[in-house]
Structure 1
Amino acid sequence: MDFKIVSEYSPTGDQPQAIKELSAGINSGDKFQTLLGVTGSGKTFTVANVIQEVQRPTLILSHNKTLAAQLYGEFKQFFPNNAVEYFVSYYDYYQPEAYIPTSGTYIEKDLSINDEIEKLRLSTTSSLLSGRRDVLVVASVSCLYGIGNPEEFNNSIIEISVGTVIPRNQFLHMLVSSLYSRTTAEFKRGNFRVKGDTVDVFPAYADIYYRLHFWGDEIERIESWDPDTNERIELFEHLRLFPANIFVTGKDKLNQAIHQIQDDLMDQIQFFKNEQRPLEAKRLQERTEFDLEMIRELGYCSGIENYSRYLDGRKPGTRPFCLLDYFPEDFLMVIDESHVTVPQVRAMYGGDRSRKENLVEYGFRLPAAMDNRPLKFEEFEMLQNQVLYVSATPAEYEMEKTGGVYTEQLIRPTGLLDPRIEIRPSEGQVDDLMEEINKRAEIDERVLVTTLTKRMAEELTKYLTRHGVRCRYIHSDVDTLERVEIMRDLRLGIFDVLIGVNLLREGLDFPEVSLVAIMDADKEGFLRSERSLVQTIGRAARNVNGLAIMYADKITDSMRKTIDETERRRETQEAYNKAHGIEPKALKKSVDSVLAGSRVAKSTVMDEVERIDFSEKPIQYDTKEDLQKAIDDTRKRMEKAAKALDFIEAARLRDIMMELESKRSTVKG
């Protein structure tokens, strides 16, 4: 099947030219291209049209799980009949395994809501190895972490047809080799069960299960069933069952890996004993032997990725297999917000290594865990085929790769212009800002304010609050869950002003924001560079009244370049609007769409009042039965949120559930 866009819109403005240029470049073999598209110009729609033109399996790489979720939702809508997949790490939402020596704290890997993420990951690898060409994967940078060998994964695919002659027990052994578990109790993903002449298999990557009817040693019928309604869906002539775990390994390789793990374990235990560190030796022995027992019994264990070097048969220091190895050679990589994503990829290896060093040093993991790592930057570059960088402000790296050439997209389908820029003196800036905020609050518009430091953000928030301004601040110390809630509350008008440092720059869709205020705009540096200023100003570009105020006592080079570039863009946009009789119109989003904004796919939005009540009311539980009911209800809601791919809400509910569970000992009866 080919990629085919389903949309009521067709390319407008300078989108057709951008699509034509980029598609021609890909088809003629250009290795690197850059799309410089202003905020709100429809870069995602342009990329979708390029994918439709070139018909290549595509990886969309995002630096941020929230943006990846938004992109996944958009591409799902553009390509409803194609394989659009979502690949993120558990660690995008959950605490990875770590050890903090200063406090002696070991933090276990938290995978309490991993079922849906695992399904999505396996669905991705299964689609890529299915032979389909119409596969588009939206991934966070965690796709550059090690996963299983694609060759082993491919070898473990089970192919059967109606009429296939295969002894039932042989088929069951094949399922076990592909890491499916037999069950007589709860039937869930990754399980199979046997009833008389039928075998039910629940793929780890699907929401349906398959029922195989045997007549002696012959497969007589293959059906798909809905696990919720227990109704038959359809009949199949052929079926491909993909493995139940990304880290699948053939029996011979598994036995070799077990022997190698045992040898390395003995060496490391001896090392700790020689160092007079019996605690670390004992800890490592207990943990590793437990994992080995699980691997012997099931073929995998929790944290199997830490043994991936053994399972793959790799030498120490060699790069792990990652999602890029599952793509065909001619795939297209699209790096979204490349000016942020590329530096993030560059920094991944170092950050992962420092965390792993502590785990190895204190006997929580074998040294081989160091080889379960993300790609080094040069390894990432080697695995690229053709790359499209997408950004409103491409960095030097992208421009160097494309020889300074880029495709420009300045026209917004809404006719909106880049915001006007005003420079005002820093003396009296807070009072001036307050006056501007009040003007906008009266007409139900929002304001973003960017400061240089977290301290300044907090102090400004306190000052404005004392003067009756409804405002909040946001910076890197604010956790993910709270950040999403703050963004949502701003859009809903629960407060009017959001104050931040560096988190306001890219990828945030705020049509309600009509003013961006930049404090200390003349303090040249990273946060006040031309790239940062252009991105920050772009936050007001989705509003017909968009204005950016720079508070400064002098005009720096970065400010001058930003002003000149913005003026050039406004002239181009105004000329286009005049030539085509376009009147700029504001974007309006319903409350429902705002509430659904943090969700990945279409899902029922929970009642907002219920959500706030549930999280904020201190409830007293008279009996253990009442408490258990609350825990069970929260678990159901957590699982429902995870199933809807709203992992942020699921993690919030998980925290509530854990808090409830901690109260067990205090409740009588």
Structure 2
Amino acid sequence: MEKRQFELVSEFDPAGDQPQAIEALVNGINSGQRNQVLMGVTGSGKTFTMANVIERIQKPTLVISHNKTLAAQLYSEFKSFFPRNAVNYFVSYYDYYQPEAYIPQRDIYIEKDASINEEIDRLRLASTSSLVSRDDVIIVASVSSIYGLGSPEDYKEMMVSAAKGQIIQRDELLRKLIDIQYERNDVGFERTKFRVRGDCVEIWPSYEEFAYRIELWGDEIDQLSIIDPTTGESIQTLENIFIYPAKHFVMPEQRIESAVRAIRDELREQLALFKDEGKLLEAQRLNARTRYDVEMLQEVGYCPGVENYSRHLAGRKEGEPPDTLYDFFPDDFLLFVDESHVSVPQVRAMWAGDRSRKSTLVDHGFRLPSALDNRPLTFEEWEGKSRSAVFVSATP
């Protein structure tokens, strides 16, 4: 992991109450105080105060905001304060989202429907790639950061590295890229795709605005470079590169096999329960749907609504919290909760709303009970994620 220092760039110095607030927060964090509060009216420079604390503490930092607009504003401010460090933006990537639901009173099933914003998806993936590759990272996120992501261990383990002079067959390199969910497209070159031109392989990482070119001489990597994905022009030559997965949800092939066995076992138990209760329609519905999903998982490693099987795919026990953005951070990170009088109640309410909707789906045979573990963190789980939290509010 690359070691760098946080370096605050500003033409202003702390003034008014800011120096005392900065000193008090830094002392509290260094003495192991778990929760602190930073209060100040709008326009009092709370973001600048937070930036000074980050520079003093020198720890990876997560800043939580209660909506995308405020998160974008904070992201812009922190980018200007820390131009030499990794400042990232992590919010929900949906432009439109209709969750899966069932209304029993009217017998209406609503299928999940969503439209994904490609640029926000790139920024989310850039957040996790920064966290696993360097330690001078600030991530500005919305409350959606408490929802399940992928396993950070799988994400790091499946990274593909390449170094100048490395011996590797071209076909082996291509297989590795496919394993981490990159797709070959020799005509339309875009994010999450790679193309092959003789002994030259070009990859556009899911989290970058540039692409990589790997030039082979036989089975040896002859040259590595950063290129403009539009023109193909070489921008910079490199000694080594690291390519992280195209998506957050990646896993080794053998994990899918064990997950399929666990899904089938759970299906048998739930079908027996439905039949004992005389719920034959629900049993038939669940059996048909789950068998289709299992076949898709075995054939292509994916199925619609695959996140509902995340407990089995990740090998978690019933009730265990999902992996989230918080698990990509080291244990000792700094958390700021902006507008905490709004953000904290949001965190508290999310688990209950998600549970209510999914319980209806489970009761009527649309999902297995394990779908309940595809969920956001509970408030208590969220509280336990950070050792040093600062709640920022303009409201006492």
Instruction: Provide the TM-score with structure 2 as the length reference.
Output: 0.92
1:229: which partner in 2?
Answer: 231
Name the amino acid aligned to 2:194: F
1:135: which partner in 2?
Answer: 137
1:511: which partner in 2?
Answer: none
1:415: which partner in 2?
Answer: none
Higher strand fraction: Structure 1 or Structure 2?
A: 2
Checking the alignment, whether the CA contact within 8 Å between 1:57 and 1:134 is kept in structure 2 is: yes
Q: How does 1:255-654 map to 2 (within 5 A)?
A: 255-273=257-275, 275-277=277-279, 279-394=281-396
For residue 109 of structure 1, the aligned residue among 93, 96, 112 is 112
Checking the alignment, whether the CA contact within 8 Å between 1:247 and 1:300 is kept in structure 2 is: no
Checking the alignment, whether the CA contact within 8 Å between 1:247 and 1:308 is kept in structure 2 is: no
Gaps of 5+ in 1: 395-669
Shift in CA distance, 381/198, structure 1 to aligned 2, threshold 3 Å: same
Shift in CA distance, 226/295, structure 1 to aligned 2, threshold 3 Å: farther
2:98 counterpart SS class: coil
Q: Is 1:43 aligned to 2:46, yes or no? A: yes
1:223 counterpart SS class: strand
Shift in CA distance, 106/166, structure 1 to aligned 2, threshold 3 Å: same
1:94 counterpart SS class: strand
2:21 counterpart SS class: helix
Checking the alignment, whether the CA contact within 8 Å between 2:150 and 2:248 is kept in structure 1 is: yes
C-alpha separation between the residues in 1 aligned to 2:193 and 2:109? 32
CA apart distance, 1:248: 1.1
- The Cα RMSD (Å) is 2.1
Percent identical among aligned pairs is 56
C-alpha separation between the residues in 2 aligned to 1:282 and 1:30? 54
C-alpha separation between the residues in 2 aligned to 1:338 and 1:256? 42
For residue 7 of structure 1, the aligned residue among 6, 10, 13 is 10
> Residues 431-474 of structure 1, C-alpha deviation per residue, up to 9 Å, x if partnerless?
xxxxxxxxxxxxxxxxxxxxxxxxxxxxxxxxxxxxxxxxxxxx
Name the amino acid aligned to 1:350: A
Q: Is 1:126 aligned to 2:129, yes or no? A: yes
Name the amino acid aligned to 2:144: S
Name the amino acid aligned to 1:15: Q
CA apart distance, 1:109: 2.7
Name the amino acid aligned to 2:366: F
Checking the alignment, whether the CA contact within 8 Å between 1:63 and 1:341 is kept in structure 2 is: yes
C-alpha separation between the residues in 2 aligned to 1:335 and 1:125? 19
> Residues 480-507 of structure 1, C-alpha deviation per residue, up to 9 Å, x if partnerless?
xxxxxxxxxxxxxxxxxxxxxxxxxxxx
C-alpha separation between the residues in 2 aligned to 1:229 and 1:120? 23
1:60: which partner in 2?
Answer: 63
Name the amino acid aligned to 1:377: F
Deviates more, 1:171-180 or 1:291-300: 291-300
2:22: which partner in 1?
Answer: 19
CA apart distance, 1:101: 2.4
Shift in CA distance, 115/278, structure 1 to aligned 2, threshold 3 Å: farther
> Residues 156-214 of structure 1, C-alpha deviation per residue, up to 9 Å, x if partnerless?
11121111111222222222222222334533322223222122222111222212111
C-alpha separation between the residues in 1 aligned to 2:107 and 2:170? 51
C-alpha separation between the residues in 2 aligned to 1:79 and 1:291? 46
Name the amino acid aligned to 1:291: D
Name the amino acid aligned to 1:17: Q
1:235 counterpart SS class: strand
1:85 counterpart SS class: strand
Checking the alignment, whether the CA contact within 8 Å between 2:61 and 2:333 is kept in structure 1 is: yes
CA apart distance, 1:377: 1.6
1:53 counterpart SS class: helix
2:114 counterpart SS class: coil
C-alpha separation between the residues in 2 aligned to 1:158 and 1:144? 28
Checking the alignment, whether the CA contact within 8 Å between 2:87 and 2:138 is kept in structure 1 is: yes
Shift in CA distance, 358/126, structure 1 to aligned 2, threshold 3 Å: same
Higher helix fraction: Structure 1 or Structure 2?
A: 1
CA apart distance, 1:91: 5.6
> Residues 542-577 of structure 1, C-alpha deviation per residue, up to 9 Å, x if partnerless?
xxxxxxxxxxxxxxxxxxxxxxxxxxxxxxxxxxxx
C-alpha separation between the residues in 1 aligned to 2:13 and 2:315? 50
2:312 counterpart SS class: helix
2:92: which partner in 1?
Answer: 89
1:254: which partner in 2?
Answer: 256
CA apart distance, 1:375: 1.1
Structure with greater contact order relative to length (CA < 8 Å, sep ≥ 6): 2
1:374 counterpart SS class: coil
Name the amino acid aligned to 1:163: G
1:111 counterpart SS class: strand
CA apart distance, 1:29: 2.5
Checking the alignment, whether the CA contact within 8 Å between 1:337 and 1:390 is kept in structure 2 is: yes
User: Highest Rg: 1 or 2?
Assistant: 1
C-alpha separation between the residues in 2 aligned to 1:369 and 1:90? 21
C-alpha separation between the residues in 2 aligned to 1:201 and 1:29? 44
Shift in CA distance, 295/6, structure 1 to aligned 2, threshold 3 Å: farther
1:30: which partner in 2?
Answer: 33
2:72: which partner in 1?
Answer: 69
> Residues 28-53 of structure 1, C-alpha deviation per residue, up to 9 Å, x if partnerless?
33222111111210111110111111
Shift in CA distance, 212/299, structure 1 to aligned 2, threshold 3 Å: farther
Shift in CA distance, 321/234, structure 1 to aligned 2, threshold 3 Å: same
Checking the alignment, whether the CA contact within 8 Å between 1:65 and 1:92 is kept in structure 2 is: no
1:168: which partner in 2?
Answer: 170
Shift in CA distance, 48/301, structure 1 to aligned 2, threshold 3 Å: farther
